[in-house]
């Protein structure tokens, strides 16, 4: 048994090295991993990898596969490397690049998670589509209506089958002698399956 008590997705946030880089929260990560439908020997990308929390979750699952974590910010790159080292993972390759640059150099992918796009989402989706195997999956998160709308429009142009859920997590917080509820930002999770081109 691992130090975070269970061999399941949704590692508690406290186990990750955080710093000031935004991190996908554990409840959202659990749904992302579920929607990716990972198999142990697959190749996956984590685009806009941030703190590396999703890369770590994927890396733990893909025992015989590889995760390519793409990130452009120096501080985040360092944090990803620290988290990969903390979780003793050898199957995560950290790549300094601003997507879509660098995607064309990667091996074909079975699964892709997009957590950040730096404003380049349409170009990233086109680049990913060219590398994704038939029946492959893209999962991406959106915290703004703009990103959600762009993602849906671009994925429909590329003929993907879509499934969209909204996750609104509320956690308890101790305030004085009371337990109050505190809402986290709602997140849209878009799952897209690549259909064979006819």
> Is 6 domain-assigned?
no
Residue 19 belongs to some domain of the structure: yes
pLDDT tens per residue across span 143-168: 999 999 999 999 999 999 999 999 99
Total number of domains constituting the chain? 1
Cα–Cα distance between 122 and 128 in angstroms, integer? 10
Residue 5 lies in a domain: no
Whole-number pLDDT of residue 39: 96
Domain span at residue 100 reads: 13-194
Cα 7 to Cα 33, 46, 57, 61: the distances in Å are: 13, 21, 10, 9
Task: Give the span between the Cα atoms of 25 and 65, in whole angstroms.
Answer: 24
For residue 75, the domain's CATH number is: 3.40.50.150
């Amino acid at each position: 048994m691992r130090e975070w008590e269970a061999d399941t997705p949704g590692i508690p946030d406290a186990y990750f090295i955080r710093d000031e880089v935004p991190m996908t929260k554990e409840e959202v990560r659990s749904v992302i991993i579920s929607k990716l439908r990972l198999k142990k020997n697959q190749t996956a990308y984590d685009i806009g990898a941030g703190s590396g929390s999703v890369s770590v979750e994927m890396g733990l699952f893909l025992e015989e596969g590889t995760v390519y974590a793409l990130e452009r910010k120096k501080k985040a790159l360092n944090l990803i490397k620290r988290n990969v080292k903390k979780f003793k993972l050898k199957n995560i390759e950290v790549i300094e690049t601003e997507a879509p640059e660098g995607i064309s150099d990667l091996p074909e992918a079975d699964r892709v998670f997009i957590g950040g796009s730096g404003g380049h989402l349409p170009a990233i989706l086109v680049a990913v589509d060219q590398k994704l195997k038939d029946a492959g999956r893209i999962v991406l998160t959106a915290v703004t209506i703009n990103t959600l709308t762009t993602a849906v429009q671009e994925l429909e142009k590329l003929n993907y089958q879509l499934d969209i859920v909204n996750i609104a997590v509320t956690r308890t917080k101790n305030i004085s002698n009371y337990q109050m509820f505190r809402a986290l930002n709602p997140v849209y999770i878009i799952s897209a399956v690549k259909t064979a081109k006819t």
